[in-house]
Amino acid sequence: MEKLIYEFDGGAPVKATQGPAIVGVVGSGNLEVLVEPENLGGRCVVEILTAARGFGDIWKAVLEDFFARHKLADLRISINDVGATPAVVSLRLDQAVESFLGGAS
Amino acid sequence: MRDWNIQARSRQARLARASSLAKGKEIGAADVAALLEAVLEPGDRVCLEGNNQKQADFLARALADLDPEKIHDLHMVQSVLALPEHIDVFERGVASKLDFSFSGPQAGRLAKLVGAHRIKIGAIHTYLELFGRYFVDLTPRVALVCAQAADRAGNLYTGPNTEDTPVIVEATAFKSGIVIAQVNEIVETLPRVDIPGGWVDFIVQSPKPHFIEPLFTRDPAQISEIQVLMAMMAIKGIYAEYGVDRLNHGIGFDTAAIELILPTYAQSLGLKGKICRHWALNPHPALIPAIEAGFVESVHSFGSELGMEAYIRARPDIFFTGADGSMRSNRAMCQAAGHYACDLFIGSTLQIDLAGNSSTATLGRIAGFGGAPNMGADARGRRHASPAWLKAGREARAGRNLIPRGQKLVVQMVETFREHMQPAFVERLDAWELAETANMDLPPVMIYGEDVSHILTEEGIANLLLCRTDEEREQAIRGVAGYTPVGLGRDKAMVENLRDRGIIRRPEDLGIDKRDATRDLLAARSVKDLVRASGGLYDPPKRFRNW
Amino acid sequence: MNSYYEASARERLRLLLDPGTFHEFLPPSERVASPHLLQLDTPAAFDDGIIVGKGLLDGRAVLAAAQEGGFMGGAVGEVHGAKLVGLLERARDERPAAVLLLVESGGVRLHEANAGLIGVSEIMRAVLALRSAGVPVIVLDGGQFGCFGGMGIVARLCDAIVMSEEGRLGLSGPEVIETTCGVEEFDSRDRALVWRTVGGKHRYLLGEADALVADDAAAFRQAAIDLLDTKPDLSLEALTAEHERLGGRLERFGACRDALDIWSALGIAAPEKLPLLEADAFRAAVAGKRA
Amino acid sequence: MDAKTLLAKLFPAGSDVAFDGLFFHGTGESASGKVAIIGSVDAAPIGVELAFRMAADVLEIVREHPARPILLLVDTQGQRLSRRDELLGINGYMAHLAKCLQLARNRGHKIIGLVYSEAVSGGFLASSLLSDHCYALPESQVRVMNLPAMSRITKIPLERLEELSQSSPVFAPGVANYLKMGAIQALWEGDLAQRLAEALDAPTESDSRRQWGEQRDGRRLARAVSERVRHAEP
């Protein structure tokens, strides 16, 4: 396994409707994404535990695009991953933030 | 004075050697080895019917068990190496040379024996090429074929899985060859005659019904939301755009997803009656909902599919069926149909390079081609027009001083990463390395980049028809290659430019909201749903059931 | 219609309980994951594959637990088991209308096999203690991974079981039996055989499942509501009656080799047709014929 | 130790036990009075018949001998693996046995389990693990699965499992691990009749295995996690 931590800033504060949100399942080719509000001085911290080693660059690129899509601040995003493809990761991230912001869970 | 009748006299001599074994055309199962020894001679060209689905498994076993002291150096000319016995004949020294098309299940063993110089490969073909050579320079001396039933006159009923049998028998029987058929049963009256008895020399009832593999069943339960998204893009960004009305689908979950959202998504776009009416396709169970919804008008098939028999029988307006009601498939005919009469082929692959060449070759496996290249290639001999073909041709020729002609739509549909994070886009195909290690003349390319019109990934569609330079083409491919190294290596400004010109189209450019891409769009989400959609007529193989 | 089979454990709870009423104990943000998995370099889930909490069902207070088959096949590890035991003990304190167990489990998680086995044993004891205290436990079984191993025993300790035909209930999974005893004993790839041996319809016919519903979360919900007033009965009389039923089953069906023989012996005219029937038609076809 | 030797050591004052195939049952005379005995021999696979037979015995004890302690002496290689057992609902037969033992417990029968030879997986769950007090002989074998099989299924290298099993009692076979994890209350050595007498006199509490596991540093989380769920707000 590999642990990866990334930080992003430049987002805007968001309002959660109901506290932390979780989507996805820790199963093969899938991942769970937990989004929690936390005072991080405007930054977002993403912590990833992944079964697939050596894909740090790809995670970084996926997350950069994610934070380009969503202007977010003061969020802790925690991920448990079992080799999900970037497409699945992007999808779960979008679902998680949508759920966090009060969309369908 | 030259002897013009050597082949026919050889045939007579072989039949004479076998005469004591046969009662009429019938051979007892126990006498098959003796029969093969009688009619075969070392060095003979032999076609052992190995299809995509049905297999002459009893005859294959018998052939592999022959004494290599007596029968050796056979030259096997067969479309598919599917069974272990297809390789055993080489391993045991009965055969030594091979011309074939596809060896999926046996690709690893084949590569080993080639490496050990136990098999000499003539060439790896597409189906139509190999069938063509049966009539030119690879005509079988002896054909070992497979049918559902025979009557005592040797007429064969192949049942729905006719597949390669007609082309093999025709080539063999009309060039003084010998045709031996294994059948599941010998009956007084056949439901219909698929192969005339006059073309068949011997029939043997196999102890067990021949093996047949349900290769074209995809369980809708395994289709992911990413695949649904890609299917939406295919329908809205390609099928609707070009008015694709005659087509072939490769087998896979991606294409099953397209089939399963025709009655939902395509219907909602008002496309019924405008796209996907005529198919060259095996009877995919996943097509049932679209057929029931009235999307489909005709389906001609290479082979059949286990469990679809009763459904096909009940939908004769759609499928090609005999007077007896059961399906008649024909691989050679359907390949020709797919090549010349379809406007679009869409299928998946393992690797695509920067020029759009795609390959399913991996190191240590000689898998061959099968039929995809016949479908997935522009038909340069095509002359009749259709709106989709003309539009593709116009796009490819716009701004160039060329005489008008059409072009086939050849779509490669892949997720940017396969399982275990294997990238689908690569700088260099593994096929190069395989070609070097296996001493091939050419790297085994499934679909040449010059034939590919579109590449579709979860990131978007790249329309290669519109690219005018190699550089544009490369950036268009990189622009849909996602987070693979190839994708990350894109020139972002150029990719945005290609997007502005409509060469690259993202889901949002097509007006597709990714959030709509859920499994709820699938007209059937399980095999049981397919049974329901068929009104109980589809009877899936046991391994696909969960009830 | 929402497929219960396809839904995740969280979605199942959301669909099963009154909207917006579910409150989770030890939610993922508490990060009570399995340290044992991490030690073996295996990804762990923030909820260890089980969601426990409280909510309302048809306006009545219930406690509920849902196992996530997508994570390690819903297998029971130390944390997973302890969360369920804690919930069952809480039910003894709180006395809700019922405890709902949305099972989906292959049994004991091998990565922490001893902790898992003991955990299952503690779940068994806690279920029995809770039922002895008069709180009913209702099992819902319709997930992709079925309910096997120790959880298969747990399910049968409870007051009632709701299954869909997709649901499976047993002890040893078909793959385990095939691996150990050979394909002749149990061909796990013959899924029709698997389902008629351990699937919902057979369990319903044997009287082990109390309700057989379509694969629809709303149908599971309604069946659970209908069972809310079940009264636990672990009396000598009740167990004696159960004993006679089980003994009768051995006598009547002990020599049967296949579920079709059993269904036939139950007086069902065309047993081979049963697997194809939808839930409603199936219940109608077997009405009055169940063991 | 074989069952007959065991019985002689447990009940020097005598026992009346009938053997029937893999199953045995009867009564033993202990220092604290009569004890009902239910057991199995030869690493019996527990199938539907055996579970049913044991349940019958428990019901009979409840009916005929109120509050008489029950001693489970079950030697098992695990549940019987067969399609027929699954077809008939083997898990239901095991659950029935557990319910019958709960009935006995509810009616004041003390239930003691002694693992004297082998206790494996589902067979263990359906027998000794259902007792109020589960003990074991030091030479007995307790497990879910051996490490090579575990390695195959989990795809974790055998060396890694072997290495970790030196420091962790959480997954590897062994009676000592089960002692540490709290499933086995104590190992019985020396005078077995004396050990039995002490067990019969010990107070019966509710399920305390999580506490033991925590105290013995074998299961560090189970008690705390279950308590947190039990007392979580609101």
* pLDDT tens for each residue of D130-183: 999 999 999 999 999 999 999 999 999 999 999 999 999 999 999 999 999 999
Contacts of B515 in chain A (CB under 8 A): 98
- Beta-carbon contacts of residue C6 (< 8 Å; ≥ 6 apart): B221, B519, B525, C144
Mutation site for A-interface testing, chosen from C17, C23, C41, C46 by largest number of A Cβ within 10 Å: C46
pLDDT band at A103 (very low <50, low <70, confident <90, very high): low
- Beta-carbon contacts of residue B491 (< 8 Å; ≥ 6 apart): B475, B478
Expressed as residue numbers, the domain containing C90 is 9-169+209-231
Q: What part of C 157-216 touches D (C-beta under 8 Å)?
A: 157, 169-172, 174, 176-177, 180-181, 185-186, 197-198, 202-203, 206, 208
Contacts of C3 in chain B (CB under 8 A): 525
Answer whether C touches B (≥3 Cβ pairs < 8 Å): yes
Interface size, chain A vs chain B, as Cβ–Cβ contacts under 8 Å: 37
Report the CATH number at residue A58: 3.30.230
CA B335 to chain CA mean position, Å: 8
Dihedral sign, CA of B319, B320, B326, B331?
A: negative
Tell me how far apart the terminal alpha carbons of chain B are, to the nearest angstrom: 73
Contacts of A52 in chain B (CB under 8 A): 420-421
Q: What's the DSSP call for residue B441?
A: S
Q: How far is A85 from chain B (nearest CA, A)?
A: 6
Q: Is B542 in Cβ contact with C275 (below 8 Å)?
A: no
User: What backbone torsions phi and psi does residue B122 show, to the nearest 5 degrees?
Assistant: -70, -65
Q: Is D130 in Cβ contact with C118 (below 8 Å)?
A: no
Q: What part of C 46-75 touches D (C-beta under 8 Å)?
A: 52
Residue C114 lies in a domain: yes
Residue A67 lies in a domain: yes
pLDDT band at A102 (very low <50, low <70, confident <90, very high): confident
Cβ count near B513 (within 10 Å) = 10
Model pLDDT, residue C1:
82
| Polymer length in residues for chain A | 105
Q: What part of C 141-170 touches B (C-beta under 8 Å)?
A: 165-166
Looking at chain D, the whole-number percentage of residues with pLDDT higher than 70 is 100
User: Cα(B400)–Cα(B423) distance, rounded to whole angstroms?
Assistant: 35
Average pLDDT for chain A: 93
Residue C265 lies in a domain: no
> Helix (H, G, I), strand (E, B), or coil: what is residue B20?
coil
With a cut of 50, list the residues of chain B below it in pLDDT.
Answer: none
Comparing alpha-carbon positions, the chain A residue that sits nearest to B518 is A91
Contacts of B531 in chain C (CB under 8 A): 276
Cross-chain CB nearest to C243 (options D91, D96, D223): D96
Comparing alpha-carbon positions, the chain C residue that sits nearest to A1 is C41
Please name which of C182, C185, C218, C212 lies closest in space to residue C199, comparing C-alpha atoms. C212
Residue C266 lies in a domain: no
Q: Is C40 in Cβ contact with D223 (below 8 Å)?
A: no
Residue C70 lies in a domain: yes
CA B12 to chain CA mean position, Å: 37
Dihedral sign, CA of B309, B314, B319, B322?
A: positive
Contacts of B519 in chain C (CB under 8 A): 6
Q: Going residue by residue through chain C (291 aa), what tens digit of pLDDT does each one get?
A: 899 999 999 999 999 999 999 999 999 999 999 999 999 999 999 999 999 999 999 999 999 999 999 999 999 999 999 999 999 999 999 999 999 999 999 999 999 999 999 999 999 999 999 999 999 999 999 999 999 999 999 999 999 999 999 999 999 999 999 999 999 999 999 999 999 999 999 999 999 999 999 999 999 999 999 999 999 999 999 999 999 999 999 999 999 999 999 999 999 999 999 998 999 999 999 999 999
Cross-chain CB nearest to A61 (options B224, B419, B488): B488
- For chain B, the chains sharing at least 3 beta-carbon pairs closer than 8 angstroms are A, C
Residue ranges of the alpha helices (H) in B398-517? 430-437, 470-478, 485-488, 492-500
Q: Is B420 in Cβ contact with A55 (below 8 Å)?
A: no
- Beta-carbon contacts of residue D125 (< 8 Å; ≥ 6 apart): C117, C120, C121, C124, C150, C153, D94
Q: Indicate the number of domains in chain A.
A: 1
Q: Is B536 in Cβ contact with C190 (below 8 Å)?
A: no
Comparing alpha-carbon positions, the chain B residue that sits nearest to C272 is B547
Comparing alpha-carbon positions, the chain B residue that sits nearest to C275 is B547
Cross-chain CB nearest to A30 (options C42, C46, C70): C70
Cross-chain CB nearest to C206 (options D59, D89, D181): D89
Residue C39 lies in a domain: yes
Model pLDDT, residue A10:
87
User: Cα(C259)–Cα(C262) distance, rounded to whole angstroms?
Assistant: 5
Expressed as residue numbers, the domain containing A73 is 2-100
Cross-chain CB nearest to C246 (options D96, D103, D213): D96
Cross-chain CB nearest to C239 (options D59, D122, D154): D59
Comparing alpha-carbon positions, the chain D residue that sits nearest to C235 is D103
User: Cα(B389)–Cα(B406) distance, rounded to whole angstroms?
Assistant: 5
Residue C223 lies in a domain: yes
Model pLDDT, residue A104:
43
Architecture of the domain delimited by D3-206: Alpha-Beta Complex (3.90)
Contacts of C44 in chain A (CB under 8 A): 26, 49, 80
Mutation site for C-interface testing, chosen from A26, A38, A48, A79 by largest number of C Cβ within 10 Å: A26
Answer whether B touches D (≥3 Cβ pairs < 8 Å): no
Comparing alpha-carbon positions, the chain C residue that sits nearest to A37 is C29
Answer whether C touches A (≥3 Cβ pairs < 8 Å): yes
> Helix (H, G, I), strand (E, B), or coil: what is residue B139?
coil
Q: How far is D50 from chain C (nearest CA, A)?
A: 12
pLDDT band at A105 (very low <50, low <70, confident <90, very high): very low
B142-150 and B278-280 as β-strands: parallel, antiparallel, unpaired? unpaired
CB B411, CB B453: distance < 8 Å: yes
Q: Indicate the number of domains in chain C.
A: 1
Please name which of B169, B166, B189 lies closest in space to residue B177, comparing C-alpha atoms. B169
CA D116 to chain CA mean position, Å: 10
Comparing alpha-carbon positions, the chain C residue that sits nearest to D142 is C114
Q: Does any CB of chain C come closer than 8 Å to the CB of residue B223?
A: no
Domain residue ranges of chain D, discontinuous segments joined by +: 3-206
Q: How far is A37 from chain B (nearest CA, A)?
A: 24
Residue C282 lies in a domain: no
Q: Is D100 in Cβ contact with C153 (below 8 Å)?
A: no
Q: How far is D72 from chain C (nearest CA, A)?
A: 16
Q: Over range D82-98, report the average pLDDT.
A: 98
Report the CATH number at residue C72: 3.90.226.10
Q: Is D102 in Cβ contact with C234 (below 8 Å)?
A: yes
Q: How far is C173 from chain B (nearest CA, A)?
A: 14
Q: Does any CB of chain B come closer than 8 Å to the CB of residue C189?
A: yes
* Prediction ipTM score: 0.92
